[in-house]
Amino acid sequence: MFRHTSNLQFEAKPDKPDALFAMKLQELIGGAWGEMTVTMQYLFQGWNCRMEGKYKDMIMDIATEEIGHVEMLATMVGRLLEGAPDDVTAEAVKDPAVAAVVGGMNPQHAIVGGGGAVPADSVGTPWNGKYIVASGNLMADFRANVAAEAQGRLQTARLYHMTDDPGVKQMLRFNLARDTVHQNQWLAAIQQLKEDGLEDTVVPDALFDEENQEHARTHWHLSDGGEADRGPWASGQAPDGRHSFEYMADPSPLGGKASAPAPQPHQYVTSRRDSSDASKQPSQDKSAAEKIKDTFQ
């Protein structure tokens, strides 16, 4: 059960309208790393968690908080759009200088949202459920959560420098702080999973006897850069404690030629077959069943 409280988690009041910044702020709502993404990511991770107890409780606490962050940002966007000149644009844009300014407004805010936020990023691309990660493996998921919070904090930090509005900056300071604590929480949860013996460094902690051990430790030097061997990823003990890194300075391909198989005649794919080969022309007297069989062959 979810219960909505009308008070925001933190204040979201700009000092003045700013339709252009409202468009930029949409990235933190519906972008790939926005609050809609972490909201749905954490909710589905919590719903899919097969263990009742501290992990599920923590996930659901943070997930529910993120719903409030979407509301904060949507409220801020609506207030930034208050008094935005969507109804006088036609007259205003007759002046080229004014047109350049007004042209920065997201037209969807006026056309679709009626002066409010929309579930999209800063260029109007709709939010997509494919952005979320909820695998059921807590170690894999928590690592994805660290990345999501890091990217979200990075984008918030960049937006912080794009506004001089004290009210907007006050809210963004709060958002930065919450992204900080959430990064630390997911990192702490990753360590706790190891200490509890539930997951290990490499995910999943299985099939090590099945994998090709010869290729579970090597760094293949495949670029023009000459310093890849200077990091701990190229030599010494691997973080999982099971492997030792090895640097391959001049690796050779292990597979054969990457050639596609010959095409079926009825696909009309250009190939090196003899142009006189009658087999390039599909038979006209085959039954429908035979043609379907040819296709799947």
Least confident interval from 55-59, 245-249, 270-274 = 270-274
Mean pLDDT of 124-135: 96
What is the reported pLDDT for 296? 64
Please tell me which residue, 41 or 115, carries the higher pLDDT value: 41
- Across the range 115-140, mean pLDDT stands at 94
220 or 84, which is more confident:
220
Most confident of 116-120, 179-183, 209-213, 282-286: 179-183
Kindly indicate the confidence band of residue 111, based on its pLDDT and cuts at 50, 70 and 90. confident
Q: pLDDT grade, residue 274 (50/70/90)?
A: low
**pLDDT greater than 50 at residue 146:** yes
Dist. CA 60–CA 52, nearest whole Å: 11
Q: What does 55-69 look like in DSSP terms, one character per residue?
A: HHHHHHHHHHHHHHH
Instruction: State yes or no: cis peptide before 263, omega within 30 of 0.
Output: no
Confidence of residue 61 (pLDDT cuts 50, 70, 90): very high
Percentage of the chain lying above the pLDDT 90 cut: 73
| pLDDT computed for residue 88 by the predictor | 45
By residue count, the chain amounts to 297
Q: What is the pTM of this model?
A: 0.83
Of the candidate ranges 5-9, 91-95, 147-151, 161-165, the one whose mean pLDDT is the lowest = 91-95
| pLDDT surpasses 80 at 96 | no
Q: Which domains does the chain have, with CATH numbers?
A: 19-195 (1.20.1260.10), 213-248 (no CATH)
What's the confidence (pLDDT) of residue 91?
Answer: 52
pLDDT of residue 173: 98
Kindly indicate the confidence band of residue 89, based on its pLDDT and cuts at 50, 70 and 90. Answer: very low
